[in-house]
Amino acid sequence: MNVTKLKEAVEVLKTNLGDSLICTAIAMNIDGQSIAGYNATPKFAALIVKIIKVVNDTAKIGGIPEIGRYATFDLQEDRLLVIIPLGEYIWGILLDGTKTQMGLLLNIEIPAAIEAFAEAVA
């Protein structure tokens, strides 16, 4: 794991998303400890791990597929939450929905974040 590259990936995301990015964190799946992020609290990092665990556990019980490459949640107060499961890690991104271009986010930024993460762990 190259933490410097992870921090660089966060900086690129921060630059590309601009004002729409509220906070982001890459956390360890096992305990919710943040290893890289921007403007995120330890609670945010732990929360994204909890959310993905609850959703995937519920999916298993219901006999439906678990989260794939990413999940997006449309939250109250015009907030969007993107959670990217990355094996032993989880990447959470909280956005201002009024400033987010969804096409750019889904087709460019999320795939770029996944690729940057893969490079950091290679």
Q: What's the order of all strands across the beta sheet hosting 79-86?
A: 34-38, 21-28, 89-96, 79-86, 71-75
- Region 63-85 average pLDDT: 96
- Alpha-carbon distance of 73 to 120, in angstroms, equals 26
Does position 112 have pLDDT exceeding 80, yes or no? yes
Instruction: Give the Cα-Cα-Cα angle 21, 35, 97 (nearest 5 degrees).
Output: 15
Model confidence over 88-103: pLDDT tens digits? 999 999 999 999 999 9
Instruction: Give the Cα-Cα-Cα angle 74, 113, 98 (nearest 5 degrees).
Output: 30
- Alpha-carbon distance of 12 to 122, in angstroms, equals 18
Report the SS3 class of residue 104.
helix
Instruction: Give the Cα-Cα-Cα angle 74, 114, 69 (nearest 5 degrees).
Output: 55
The residues, any chain, with a CB within 8 Å of residue 53's CB and separated by 6 or more, are: none
Contact 110, 6 (CB under 8 A): no
Give the pLDDT score at 64. Answer: 97
Least confident range from 2-6, 9-13, 38-42, 52-56: namely 2-6
What domains sit in the chain, N to C, each tagged with a CATH number?
A: 3-121 (3.30.450.30)
Q: pTM of the entire structure?
A: 0.92
